[in-house]
Each structure stands twice: as C-alpha cells, then as structure tokens.
Amino acid sequence: MKLPRRRPASPKKTAVGGSPEATRAALLQAATAVFVASGYEQARVRDIAERAGANVAAINYHFGSKEALYLEVLRRQASERIERYPLPDPAQSATPEAALQAALTMLLSRLLADDQRGFVPKLLMRELLAPSAALPAMVQDVIAPQFRQLSAVVTALLGPRADAATIQRCTFSLVSQCMFYLFARPLVQTLAPQTYDDGAVARLSAHIAQFSLGALRAQRELLERADA
C-alpha cells in the first residue's frame, strides 16, 4: 500500500511578518529578482532564501523544489502580464483588422512596456536562450492558450479555406515581428533611440498590423484561387 506523501516540517525561520503566507510571498518576490538577474541554472536557493529573510528549507516546504518555485514565478509573472494586456476576442471586435491591431498592441505592450514590474520579457529571454525543464509546462499552461487566441484572429483574416498549418505559420510570423523588438532591443535602440510609451507601442503595432495585413490578404487570395 502506498503511503501518502508527508509535507516537510515547517521551517523555523520565516520571513518578516511570521506567517506562512508572508514567507511564501517573500520567497516569490525574492525568487523573481534572483531568476531575472541570474537565470534558472545560476540562481542559488540560498540567495533566494537570504533575500526573502527565510530559511533555505522554506523553499522546499512551500514549493517542493527550486524548479517548482521557478515555474510558479513564471506562471505568476505571465498571468499578471496577460491580465494587464489581454488579447482581444475577434468575435467581440468591430472587424478582424481591428482585432489584429488590438492583439499586436497587447503583445508589444507585454514585451516592451517600460514599467518597474516588467519581469516577463527578461525571464522570457533567459528561458528561450537557455531553456529549463520548466519550459514544456509553461508552454502548455500559458503560452499555448495565448497562441490559440492569436490564431483565432489570424483565422478570421485568412477565411474558412485556411488550413491549420497555414494559420500556424502566419501566427508565428506575427509573433516573430513582435519578438524582434524584444530580442533586438539594444540594436533597435542604437539605430533609433526611443522610449516605448503607449504612443510608441500604438504606432509600432499599427505598422506591424498594416504590414502583415497585406501578407494575410495575399495569402487569402491564394487560398481562394486554389479552391476556385
């Protein structure tokens, strides 16, 4: 008979505030800063615990492992960003073109918004450059649902004749244009210095939308001709 797994004993040292909830919150905050600065592989649980004012054992007690703590940081940071900049529902948009521009504005805002809690872009860059074991779960839980939402916008523009592979490639093309401004930001800032306030993001999303609409319309025409 398999015995139920026992939860580790509560560590003696807790974060300022004393409660388990305060310790958990302090560990998440500390872990976010350490993972952003060092990446998953180089981050040390001792540094996270010290920054949180907690015992090292508190990480296993509250999260089970360093990897589980990292995944929780990724999920929380991504969820906050998604909630702040949600993708539109094409069915609720005035036109598919309006949905596309709104979606691009939200994506670019997630990646480029200059705010003090913009940890997602840095975590994303580190994770994609040096993928950890947490990436598959992150893709399944967070990234894939967002990709499907953007694909719905693309589907509305391509029309009913578009197959799954075409929709996927076109969606990747949209994402790649937005990702360029994140990964190539030092280069872009050197060539064309600017701050990414709401106005700049809106102008950039309008450009990408206009640029991409030409390609999507041409793709739709090809699909319709092939079925004619």
CATH number at residue 59: 1.10.10.60
Evaluate whether residue 1 is within a structural domain.
Answer: no
Instruction: Looking at the structure, tell me whether residues 171 and 118 fall in a common domain.
Output: yes
Evaluate whether residue 85 is within a structural domain.
Answer: yes
Q: Considering Cα of 28, then 34, then 37, then 40, what sign does the dihedral take?
A: negative
Query: Cβ–Cβ contacts within 10 Å for residue 67, how many?
Result: 14
Instruction: Looking at the structure, tell me whether residues 137 and 40 fall in a common domain.
Output: no
Return d(Cα 22, Cα 16) in angstroms, integer: 7
Instruction: Looking at the structure, tell me whether residues 154 and 112 fall in a common domain.
Output: yes
9 residue type, one letter: A
Give the single-character DSSP code of 92.
G
pLDDT at residue 19, as a whole number: 87
Instruction: Looking at the structure, tell me whether residues 124 and 93 fall in a common domain.
Output: yes
Domain range holding 131?
Answer: 79-227
Q: Among residues 213, 206, 214, which one has the least CA distance to residue 105?
A: 206
Tally of domains in the chain: 2
Evaluate whether residue 12 is within a structural domain.
Answer: no
pLDDT at residue 17, as a whole number: 53
Give the single-character DSSP code of 89.
-
Instruction: Looking at the structure, tell me whether residues 51 and 84 fall in a common domain.
Output: no
pLDDT at residue 118, as a whole number: 72
61 close to 10: Cβ distance less than 8 angstroms: yes
201 close to 110: Cβ distance less than 8 angstroms: no
Evaluate whether residue 7 is within a structural domain.
Answer: no
Evaluate whether residue 14 is within a structural domain.
Answer: no
Instruction: Looking at the structure, tell me whether residues 112 and 221 fall in a common domain.
Output: yes
Query: Cβ–Cβ contacts within 10 Å for residue 210, how many?
Result: 12
Residues counted in the chain:
228
209 close to 153: Cβ distance less than 8 angstroms: no
Instruction: Looking at the structure, tell me whether residues 41 and 126 fall in a common domain.
Output: no
Evaluate whether residue 151 is within a structural domain.
Answer: yes
pLDDT at residue 117, as a whole number: 65
Q: Token pair of 5, please? A: 């797994």
123 residue type, one letter: L
Instruction: Looking at the structure, tell me whether residues 152 and 214 fall in a common domain.
Output: yes
150 residue type, one letter: L
Q: Token pair of 144, please? A: 């894939």
pLDDT at residue 1, as a whole number: 44
Q: Measure Cα distances from 152 to 28, 90, 157 in Å.
A: 34, 7, 9
- pLDDT tens across the length of the chain (228 residues): 444 444 444 454 445 556 889 999 999 999 999 999 999 999 999 999 999 999 999 999 999 999 999 999 999 999 999 999 999 998 899 999 999 999 999 999 999 987 656 788 889 888 988 899 999 999 999 999 999 999 999 999 999 999 999 999 999 999 999 999 999 999 999 999 988 888 999 999 999 999 999 999 999 999 998 876
Instruction: Looking at the structure, tell me whether residues 175 and 121 fall in a common domain.
Output: yes
Q: Token pair of 102, please? A: 């709104």
Instruction: Looking at the structure, tell me whether residues 27 and 129 fall in a common domain.
Output: no
Give the distance, in angstroms, between the CA of residue 78 and the centroid of all CA atoms in the same chain.
Answer: 5
Instruction: Looking at the structure, tell me whether residues 30 and 83 fall in a common domain.
Output: no
pLDDT at residue 6, as a whole number: 45
Q: Is the backbone of residue 53 left (phi > 0), alpha (psi -120 to 50) or beta?
A: left
Instruction: Looking at the structure, tell me whether residues 42 and 123 fall in a common domain.
Output: no
Output the domain CATH number for residue 120: 1.10.357.10
Q: Token pair of 123, please? A: 């975590």
End position of a domain, from candidates 5, 34, 64: 64
End position of a domain, from candidates 8, 33, 64: 64
Full-model pTM: 0.84
